[in-house]
């Protein structure tokens, strides 16, 4: 099925560093969502984006809805050990209630 | 935010038995819920859309007789894995759309780990 191209697949960083990950697609989406999943848990919604060009922050997290509506990025500033986990982008297309997912970015933060 | 619960959080069963997983929206109503399956180190795979008061819609390749879905109320959907086999072992996650006006998001349960021996 249709998927979002999420990169990088994994990241190994030092505590305090900034992190950036993104999702792209050849299709247009009208809502972008970013989730974090800890091991053995369900995904938790971090940020929701609803307008092209929108830039939204949630604490140290900042995400943007690309102006072309085909991409989105998530930045994490000043990473801390509890940021470890898998980050997924997801998006809605048109009026569908089904989410399309990226394959995830696994983040490891070294203290 | 919207809270979705799942029960049980984990289950171990013998091959050939059936297992029921519950998904509840705790502080909102959901006419639609979704069931996903997740394999290790992979993204979520949509199995089916659960519709309150009507039949579920299954994704291509998902056996509807194997994975029975019932959405009997606006806050509860159940997934029953019938005649479970070891290859059904997986992490099952449900979700429900929550909406504030026209703004959409989807909220996930904590997941159920199924191990079939």
pLDDT tens sequence across A39-98: 999 999 999 999 999 999 999 999 999 999 999 999 999 999 999 999 999 999 877 889
The whole-number pLDDT of residue B99 equals 67
Euclidean distance between CA atoms B88 and B98, whole angstroms: 29
- Percent share of chain B, pLDDT over 70: 95
Residue B98 near chain A (CB below 8 Å):
no
CA atoms lying within 13 Å on the CB side of residue A51: 5
Pairing of strands B112-116, A105-110: unpaired
pLDDT above 60: residue A1 = no
CB contact under 8 A, B103 and A3: no
| pLDDT, tens digit, 9 for 90 and up, residues B8-53 | 999 999 999 999 999 999 988 899 999 999 999 899 999 999 999 8
Residue written as token pair 């919207």: B2
**pLDDT, average across residues A13-37:** 96
Q: Is B110 on the interface with A (CB under 8 A)?
A: yes
pLDDT at B63 over 80: yes
The shares of helix, strand and coil residues in chain A, as percent rounded to the nearest 5, are: 5, 50, 45
Identify the bridge partners of residue B92 per DSSP, sorted by sequence position. Answer: B37, B112
Burial class (CB in 10 A: 0-12, 13-18, 19+), A67: exposed
Contacts of B34 (CB under 8 A, 6+ apart): A97, A98, A99, B46, B48, B49, B50, B94, B95, B96, B106
Q: What is the pLDDT of residue A100?
A: 93
Say if residue B90's pLDDT is above 70: yes
Q: Measured between beta carbons, which residues in chain A are less than 8 angstroms from residue B62?
A: none
CA torsion angle for A46, A51, A53, A56 (degrees, to 10)?
-30
- Residues in A closer than 8 angstroms to B34, CB to CB, are 97-99
Q: Which residues pair with B21 in a beta bridge?
A: B79
pLDDT of residue A93: 84
Q: How far is CA A84 from the centre of its chain?
A: 14
B96: nearest Cα among A16, A1, A98: A98
List chain A residues with CB under 8 Å of B46: 1, 98-99
DSSP tag of B86: G
Tokens of B85: 């086999």
Q: What angle do CA B111, B114, B117 make, to 5 degrees?
A: 170
């Amino acid at each position: 099925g249709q998927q979002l191209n999420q990169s990088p697949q994994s990241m190994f960083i030092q505590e305090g560093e900034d992190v950036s990950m993104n999702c792209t697609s050849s299709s247009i989406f009208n809502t972008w969502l970013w989730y974090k999943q800890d091991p053995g848990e369900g995904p938790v919604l971090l940020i929701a984006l609803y307008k092209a060009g929108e830039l939204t922050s949630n604490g140290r997290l900042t995400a943007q809805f690309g102006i072309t509506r085909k991409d989105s990025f998530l930045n994490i500033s000043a990473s801390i050990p509890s940021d470890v986990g898998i980050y997924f982008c997801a998006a809605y297309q048109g009026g569908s209630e089904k989410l399309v997912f990226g394959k995830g970015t696994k983040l490891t933060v070294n203290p | 935010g919207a809270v979705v619960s799942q029960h049980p959080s984990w289950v171990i069963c013998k091959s050939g038995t059936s297992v029921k997983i519950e998904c509840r929206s705790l502080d909102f109503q959901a006419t639609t819920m979704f069931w996903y399956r997740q394999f290790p180190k992979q993204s979520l795979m949509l199995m089916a859309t659960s519709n309150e008061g009507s039949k579920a819609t299954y994704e291509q390749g998902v056996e509807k007789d194997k994975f029975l879905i019932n959405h009997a109320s606006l806050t509860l959907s159940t997934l029953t894995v019938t005649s479970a086999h070891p290859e059904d072992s997986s992490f099952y996650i449900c979700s429900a759309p929550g909406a504030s006006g026209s703004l959409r998001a989807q909220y996930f349960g904590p997941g159920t780990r199924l191990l079939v021996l």
